[in-house]
Structure 1
Amino acid sequence: MTTAARPRSAATLGTPLLVAAIVLVALNLRGPIVAVSPVIDAIRADLGVSAAVAGLLTSLPVLAFALASPPASWLIGRIGAERAMLVGLVVLAAGAVLRSADGVAGALIGTALIGAGITVGNIVVPVIIGRDFPHRSGSLLGIYTATMNIGSMITLSLTVPIAAGTGWRVALASYLVLTVAAAVVWRLATRRRDGGEALPDGGAAPARAPWTRPVGWLLLFAFGGQSFGYYGLTAWLPEVLRDLRGLDAASAGIASSLFQILAVVGALVTPLVARRTSLRLAFIPVAAGFLALPGGLLLAPALWPLWCSLAGAAQGGGFTVIFSACLAASRDATENRRMAAFVQGGGYLMGALGPWLLGAVHESVSPPAWDVPLAVVLGALVVLAVAGAAAVTRIRTQ
């Protein structure tokens, strides 16, 4: 991959301050969404809504990731990645305030705004990493992915204790502290940049549209398979284990924790493997580990701790590999931005279908069982394996 020409102030970005800004932004890119889960019963009781409406508080942001990716990409190209990130953080903060303000409409609109604000960060951070840290992009993508999972774990751990003393509204709004901190540090790290996107050298060929390239579609389907599996399993894994293994709520919660916590390990280790070998070899354990969870639960459910651990590490590593591949397939910041928006737009749309489709399939079977839903997840992860392997092989041979 060739890198874009840097503006004269780019040297100000290659500093620990920008790395700190990226880490703080990453803490905000999943935590505000998963924070709802531990207090969903309190939200339902307070707002007087059904389980289906309450479920929108976690599913709407994923749908926003898909629908808001094209306009977020346009915004980044229009005003530059640095300013766009600040706009995204402002939208995220406004959504968090509105979600906790009052009423069902405010909660839903605020949730949609949170998703839209996060979407900007989803695209900006990989673009900044690829543009300003080309020789460390894999490692920083791993740190970025790991930090998103750490942000999720922080909110999952702290929301209930905070809500016990202040109520769910204050508990959810309290994470604005992280959003404000991210905005301040981001501004300090990028304040000397004039704005606007780093463009290719004058003699470079025009940016290629990702939808005209086979590798773009392969990465879209790979990320779609990963997103479908991740969000579907995140939503239903505790209930699957309760039904298949008779686990109580606490034990099922441990399984979900393994699936989330081990993502940090996968996100940090996968770039090291890719650096020493190749993206293609780094992708093999990702595909195998993710396939192990639905396949293992179908064939040997008693080994669920092993399957949850393997898939957890794989889902963290898979995110890193796919967006490292987006960087490797892009010649400059413009192509990287468009590729990231294209892959995320289609991929998250598939991911948003996961929880709903698995629940619908489960209820359609008589008597209700999990074999068919797990087979559906297995099929989605086969798409991840096949499309991802083809994408990294194509990049390697370009």
Structure 2
Amino acid sequence: MTPARLALLALLWFTGVYLRVPVLVAPALAPQIGGELGLGAAGVGALTTLPVLMLGLGALPGAWLIGRLGARRALVMAVALMALASAARGLAPPAALLFAATAVMGFGIAVMQPALPAIVARWCPGFTALAVAVYMNGMLLGEFLGAGLTLPLIMPLTGNDWRLTLLVWSLPALIIAGLLTRPDDRAPDVEPPTPGSILGGDPRMWSFGLILGAASTLFFGTNAYMADLLAARGEADRLATTLFWFNLSQGAASLVMVPLAPRLVARRGPVLTTGLMAVTGGLAFLWLDGNSALVAAVLLGSATAIQLILMVAAAPHVVPPGDTGTFSAGMFAVGYGMAFAVPLAGGLLAELSQRPQLPIWPMLAYGLLVLPLIARMDFRRRVA
């Protein structure tokens, strides 16, 4: 592999890290933030689920920006916006500022999401599956870094100050934005896509989005409500350990996928298998406790990571390179819209009923409902 290709893959990896680090810091800091600002269960969960909503709502404007500015320029703007808004969360109270900054941060990540597949399709001909697996490995290791290392490593270094912790995690992303500013990405001479043209395009986009949403729902929802669930069964002291291994399992699974992705992408069997594994892991985590529940969390995290990579990497395989950004934007809009709505509904049910296990049930039901959709999935390439 040439040095230029290695440098490109490294830049994609570091960019991928910041698709998730700012989001997954929130579950680890939720007890401190919720206690200081007086947030209820739904409010604490929204620290994680609100960015997920923005990943859905911002995907279509993100596709428009990519068409208007070019993929690299849109990505630079999005990374810088994400970093500054993520750091601004530490300026709260008031709580409204916390949620506003969280929403802006989520919008920045929402633009990053379709920009990266569009860049991969153009920059990495002949090794798109490898490039997607690399930046997705960065993304999923970013989940581990944010959720798994915040409590045991970063918080002691910042004197247990959650505001400073947010700053430490956020501002290094500005370095990534700087590295992405090389002027070789001219805005295309085409009309930027509209929401109607994205959502009314290839009908497989809806299927891809719903399947991606099932994996994202189980992952983000479990992270969001893990503290409440563990506390309800007397295991609050296991939060740091469970977050650590749950999110590390995603990074480890994505690392395994780097060499395997070219052989597994655009095939129904691996997607269906990981969907079944995710539902099984979620059920086991709900009903077991202690180390058995930890093993179930690792199974859940690994399965959702692999399923997510398989779906994102399939997009450049089923549509022409010029359509990858819009197809991905629609897929992310549908998937992350579901990943916001389903856990939020579960959280509201839990708050009303005072039953902390309820948020998990809608997520598991959704995971089961998409299995027949996976079994009928068409991964053939569309002709331009």
TM-score range, shorter chain: 0.7 to 0.9
Q: Which amino acid aligns with 1:174?
A: V
Paired position in structure 2 for 1:184 = 178
Q: Which amino acid aligns with 2:89?
A: R
Does the alignment pair 1:254 with 2:245? no
Instruction: Output the TM-score relative to the length of structure 2.
Output: 0.84
User: Could you tell me how far 1:171 is from its partner in structure 2?
Assistant: 1.9
Which of 94, 99, 103 aligns to 1:112? It is 103
Native 8 Å contact 1:239 1:252 kept in 2 = no
Does the alignment pair 1:305 with 2:294? yes
Alpha-carbon distance in 1 for matches of 2:286, 2:225: 15
Alignment map for 1:10-49 (pairs within 5 Å)? 15-44=5-34, 46-47=36-37
User: Could you tell me how far 1:83 is from its partner in structure 2?
Assistant: 0.5
Does the alignment pair 1:281 with 2:281? no
Alpha-carbon distance in 2 for matches of 1:247, 1:47: 24
Question: Percent identity between the aligned chains?
Answer: 22
Paired position in structure 2 for 1:268 = 255
Alpha-carbon distance in 1 for matches of 2:167, 2:287: 43
Alpha-carbon distance in 1 for matches of 2:87, 2:351: 36
Which of 167, 192, 196 aligns to 2:187? It is 196
Paired position in structure 2 for 1:101 = 91
1:213 is paired with a residue of what secondary structure? coil
Which of 166, 172, 181 aligns to 1:172? It is 166
For this pair of structures, how many residues does the alignment match?
Answer: 369
Native 8 Å contact 2:91 2:163 kept in 1 = yes
User: Could you tell me how far 1:131 is from its partner in structure 2?
Assistant: 2.2
Alpha-carbon distance in 2 for matches of 1:14, 1:77: 26
Instruction: Output the TM-score relative to the length of structure 1.
Output: 0.81
- Bigger Rg, structure 1 or 2: 1
**Structure 1 stretch displaced more, 378-387 or 347-356:** 378-387
Paired position in structure 2 for 1:347 = 335
Alpha-carbon distance in 2 for matches of 1:43, 1:238: 13
Paired position in structure 1 for 2:216 = 227
Alpha-carbon distance in 1 for matches of 2:246, 2:75: 29
Deviation digits for residues 21-45 of structure 1, max 9, x if unmatched? 2122112111112223333343345
Does the alignment pair 1:382 with 2:382? no
Q: Which amino acid aligns with 1:178?
A: P
Paired position in structure 1 for 2:303 = 314
Alpha-carbon distance in 2 for matches of 1:109, 1:238: 23
Paired position in structure 2 for 1:130 = 121
Alignment map for 1:363-374 (pairs within 5 Å)? 368=355, 370=357, 373-374=359-360
Native 8 Å contact 1:262 1:313 kept in 2 = yes
Deviation digits for residues 196-249 of structure 1, max 9, x if unmatched? 2498xxxxxxxx855343311211211122222222222234544555xx4522
Native 8 Å contact 1:17 1:185 kept in 2 = no
CA change 1:210–1:44 in 2 (3 A) is closer
Alpha-carbon distance in 1 for matches of 2:132, 2:22: 20
Which of 65, 83, 97 aligns to 2:73? It is 83
Native 8 Å contact 2:61 2:111 kept in 1 = no
User: Could you tell me how far 1:80 is from its partner in structure 2?
Assistant: 0.1
User: Could you tell me how far 1:73 is from its partner in structure 2?
Assistant: 0.7
Deviation digits for residues 150-196 of structure 1, max 9, x if unmatched? 2233233244223316x322221122442122112222xxx241512
Q: Name the Cα RMSD after superposition.
A: 3.0
Native 8 Å contact 1:326 1:339 kept in 2 = yes
CA change 1:270–1:288 in 2 (3 A) is farther
**Structure 1 stretch displaced more, 106-115 or 68-77:** 106-115
**Structure 1 stretch displaced more, 62-71 or 380-389:** 380-389
Alpha-carbon distance in 1 for matches of 2:252, 2:381: 25
> Unaligned 5+ residue runs, structure 2?
191-196
> Unaligned 5+ residue runs, structure 1?
1-11, 200-207
